[in-house]
Chains A and B, each alone.
Chain A
């Protein structure tokens, strides 16, 4: 059972917007930056968002993220077929001596 809770799935038609939530606690999201990863089918994960809302070079501005308290969210606007993937939120957790924790993952389907 993951420490960070995400909905198992999300879907929308091309061109629409989809939002993924990530619920944590004071020891992880409440205390540390949130990062988001995209994993295309059969591929290694890729950094999508770092430090709550920063996009690495090369990541389209259709991807945006925010954090409030112990929760975070990722939004994908103008959804495209190539956005079909698994998305994971993640953060450092200060409890139990410290460890990195991933969300349970959300599969985005483009209808």
Chain B
């Protein structure tokens, strides 16, 4: 089946620093990748949708200058949390679709970010 990896799986950083999270589709070309945030005991919250080679589309309320998304190739998307603060601590999950259907999303294992 389609496999999506994320790196790192967890990261702890100091307030004010930037953190980059990678999302890779290992055995398929991902035309679209999605970035979600999930707080404890809550559902997934879509942050942005990115298509290879174009700018990401951010959901309302998500700061595009704070959460930088780059989808440079069909197998790699990165999310950079700039000037991270404790309230950015969360579980960040990416997903990818292999065809022109958003419904069959393949999820990565997630990255747990803790900002001290």
Pairing of A with B: no
Interface residues of B (CB under 8 A from A): none
Interface residues of A (CB under 8 A from B): none
